């Protein structure tokens, strides 16, 4: 088995934006072992990443000439065949050269071309694309198929439940607040305006606020909440590691953030983001979620990319009303019932490939009663037969549209990927539900997931919805099921009347 080394980047936001490139490398090197070398402080971004096999840490002990020689010696013992350098620095090429890695690929910049065996031409225009595309472009120029995919940070169910427990005392909806930015003060919105947003948000929604930040940003958070005596504000500034921060942001209903690492975590875990941009450019580092809102004013001097600024005009022009208007657009208000398809709404023949195999279960037509009671009806189905070449994608869409056109469903999502893709949308991963939440402002914690398989029940647990197990096959009981029913009529009765 070939061993592949990827030199990762050094900042949290940049690390998130390399995830699609890692996915492309995993697809290209399916049978190889992929190791990621990163600084210790960004490693938690990749703890649950399915595209890499190992994380190697670039430690403080690797600083200086002696440290670099020590790291190169450690890497040499690993017998890597190829090194992909996502990091731009001279250091990345020099160390892999010293390590004797036969093939070293990266952008030819920062005077490191001599140490690369596959230098990729670089010009300043390359840095004018979004950073996700910048890392994918490197792979494309190396002849690797690297299509755009959304950055996704996987969070296991136990970690989600731990984070949910930490926020259990807070009233919903929960607004996550990230008022800091490590890069510099020019990226930070005015603290007193965060204070005003907190007050308006809690007054309007009856919800709560949780504040995130590093220990160094504690003075900012303290200034924001000074004078508040409200149990609905949870200040976690300086009290979270990156590892614990990720699922906590994932458990927020929305996130208000400056352009910073937590902003990138927000969209990468599926949380709707309101992002505040001043000195930096959202075209380069803006959020890439299902439905995020960027607030940036058209100021003549922005983006300047300065760390600090005397006037701060770009941030000053963003008003509290601007932010509250954006928050109101993202607040989850509607409720929905999500249905698995094959085995729940219609008979499951294994792979549904033609109309001769399509057989509706009784009760589908009565699901309209749920709509009359205010619930949206949304289908969510895994369709790996598409990627396996067994099922025609057009046929999948035709079947899904039957539910929309004839039975009142509001939308129907499907995951076309092979399980080996380890995508965010294949149940029990919650990507399809997060997409629906973003588009329709669905309150997942006031919604239901109905299905006949374990993946449907775990999906409900992942997002905090209530799980209804429909007895159709072998699965008749499950610990993750909140309710167990026998047919679709039972589903309607349960949701409408509680029995």
- What SS3 class is residue 152? coil
Least confident segment among 13-22, 111-120, 145-154, 177-186: 177-186
pLDDT for 297 equals: 82
Q: How large is the average pLDDT for residues 398-424?
A: 97
pLDDT for 476 equals: 87
Same domain, 364 and 223: no
The DSSP output letter for 198 is H
Residues whose CB is less than 8 angstroms from the CB of residue 261 and which lie 6 or more positions away in sequence, other chains included: 11, 12, 13, 16, 182
Distance CA 224, CA 194 (A): 6
pLDDT for 307 equals: 66
Q: What is the CATH number of the domain that holds 487?
A: 3.40.50.1000
Same domain, 367 and 478: yes
Residues whose CB is less than 8 angstroms from the CB of residue 239 and which lie 6 or more positions away in sequence, other chains included: none
Per the CB < 8 A criterion, the answer to whether 461 and 334 are in contact is no
Distance CA 365, CA 353 (A): 23
What are the DSSP E strand ranges found in 199-261? 208-211, 233-235, 254-258
Residues whose CB is less than 8 angstroms from the CB of residue 181 and which lie 6 or more positions away in sequence, other chains included: 187, 188, 258, 259, 260
Residues whose CB is less than 8 angstroms from the CB of residue 7 and which lie 6 or more positions away in sequence, other chains included: 37, 83, 84, 85, 86, 87, 92, 96, 106
pLDDT for 280 equals: 83
Single out the catalytic residue among 342, 348, 410, 443: 342
Helices (DSSP H) in 276-319: which residue ranges? 282-285, 313-316
pLDDT for 306 equals: 67
Same domain, 458 and 357: yes
135 within a domain of the structure (yes/no): yes
Same domain, 343 and 307: no
Q: Does 340 qualify as catalytic in the annotation?
A: yes
Nearest CA to 473 out of 454, 491, 489 is that of 454
474 within a domain of the structure (yes/no): yes
Q: What is the CATH number of the domain that holds 231?
A: 3.40.50.2000
76 within a domain of the structure (yes/no): yes
Same domain, 203 and 309: yes
Single out the catalytic residue among 133, 292, 340, 443: 340
Same domain, 259 and 304: yes
Per the CB < 8 A criterion, the answer to whether 210 and 176 are in contact is yes
Question: Does residue 226 have a pLDDT over 90?
Answer: no
Same domain, 348 and 393: yes
Backbone angles phi, psi at 481, to 5 degrees: -85, 125
151 within a domain of the structure (yes/no): no
Distance CA 379, CA 427 (A): 12
State pLDDT tens for residues 179-200. Answer: 987 766 667 788 899 999 999 9
pLDDT for 115 equals: 95
Per the CB < 8 A criterion, the answer to whether 310 and 418 are in contact is no
Same domain, 130 and 173: no
Question: Does residue 135 have a pLDDT over 90?
Answer: yes
Residue 277 burial (CB < 10 Å; 0-12/13-18/19+)?
Answer: buried
Question: Does residue 444 have a pLDDT over 80?
Answer: yes
Same domain, 81 and 162: no
State pLDDT tens for residues 279-336. Answer: 788 999 999 999 999 999 887 676 766 666 666 777 888 899 999 999 999 999 999 9
Query: Average pLDDT, whole number, for the chain?
Result: 93
205 within a domain of the structure (yes/no): yes
Q: Does 342 qualify as catalytic in the annotation?
A: yes
147 within a domain of the structure (yes/no): no
Same domain, 218 and 105: no
**Assigned token pair, 152:** 């996704």
Distance CA 426, CA 294 (A): 28
149 within a domain of the structure (yes/no): no
Residue 168 burial (CB < 10 Å; 0-12/13-18/19+)?
Answer: exposed
State pLDDT tens for residues 24-38. Answer: 999 999 999 999 999
CA 428 to chain centre: 15
Question: Does residue 341 have a pLDDT over 90?
Answer: yes
Name the residue range of residue 326's domain. Answer: 157-330
Nearest CA to 29 out of 71, 74, 82 is that of 82
Q: How large is the average pLDDT for residues 260-268?
A: 96
Q: Report the chain's terminal Cα–Cα distance, integer Å.
A: 56
Q: How many domains does the chain have?
A: 3
Which residues is 415 bridged to in the sheet? Answer: 382
Predicted TM-score (pTM) of this structure: 0.94
- Look at strands 254-258 and 233-235 and give their pairing: unpaired
Same domain, 304 and 247: yes
């Amino acid at each position: 088995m070939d061993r592949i080394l990827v030199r990762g980047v050094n900042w949290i936001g940049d690390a998130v934006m390399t995830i699609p490139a890692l996915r492309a490398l995993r697809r290209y090197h399916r049978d190889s072992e992929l190791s990621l070398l990163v600084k210790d402080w960004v490693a938690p971004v990749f703890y649950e990443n399915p595209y890499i096999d190992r994380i190697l840490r670039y430690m403080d002990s690797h600083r200086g000439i002696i440290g670099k020689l020590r790291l190169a010696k450690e890497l040499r013992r690993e017998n890597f065949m190829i090194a992909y350098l996502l990091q731009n620095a001279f250091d990345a090429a020099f160390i892999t050269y010293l390590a004797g890695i036969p093939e070293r690929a990266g952008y030819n910049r920062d005077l490191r071309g001599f140490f690369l065996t596959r230098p990729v031409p670089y010009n300043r225009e390359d840095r004018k694309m979004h950073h996700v595309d910048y890392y994918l472009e490197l792979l494309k120029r190396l002849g690797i198929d690297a299509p755009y995919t959304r950055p996704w940070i996987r969070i296991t169910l136990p970690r989600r439940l731990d984070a949910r427990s930490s926020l259990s005392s807070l009233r919903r909806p929960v607004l996550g607040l990230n008022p800091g930015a490590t890069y510099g003060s020019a990226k930070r919105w005015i603290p007193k305006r965060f204070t005003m947003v907190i007050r308006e948000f809690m007054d309007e929604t009856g919800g709560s606020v949780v504040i995130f930040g590093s220990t160094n940003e504690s003075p900012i958070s303290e200034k924001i909440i000074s004078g508040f005596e409200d149990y609905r504000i949870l200040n976690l500034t300086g009290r979270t590691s990156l590892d614990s921060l990720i699922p906590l942001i994932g458990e927020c209903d929305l996130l208000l953030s400056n352009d910073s690492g937590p902003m990138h975590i927000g969209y990468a875990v599926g949380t709707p983001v309101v992002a505040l941009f001043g000195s930096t450019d959202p075209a380069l580092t803006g959020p890439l979620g299902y439905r995020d809102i960027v607030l940036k004013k058209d100021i003549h001097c922005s983006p300047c990319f300065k760390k600090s600024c005397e006037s701060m005009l770009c941030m000053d022009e963003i008003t509290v009303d601007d932010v509250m208007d954006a928050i109101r657009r993202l607040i989850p208000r509607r409720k929905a019932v999500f249905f698995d398809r094959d085995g729940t709404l219609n008979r499951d023949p294994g792979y549904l490939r033609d109309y001769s195999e399509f057989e509706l279960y009784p009760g589908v037509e009565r699901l309209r009663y749920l709509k009359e009671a205010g619930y949206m009806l949304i289908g969510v189905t895994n369709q790996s037969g598409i990627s396996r070449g067994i099922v025609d994608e057009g046929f999948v869409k035709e079947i899904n549209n039957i539910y929309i056109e004839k039975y009142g469903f509001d939308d129907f999502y499907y995951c076309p990927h092979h399980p080996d893709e380890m995508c965010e949308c294949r149940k029990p991963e919650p990507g399809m539900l997060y997409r629906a939440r973003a588009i329709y402002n669905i309150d997942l914690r006031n919604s239901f997931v109905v299905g006949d398989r374990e993946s449907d029940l775990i999906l409900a647990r992942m997002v905090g919805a209530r799980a209804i197990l429909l007895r159709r096959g072998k699965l008749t009981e499950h610990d993750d099921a909140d309710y167990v029913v026998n047919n679709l009529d039972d589903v309607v009765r349960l949701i409408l009347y509680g029995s």
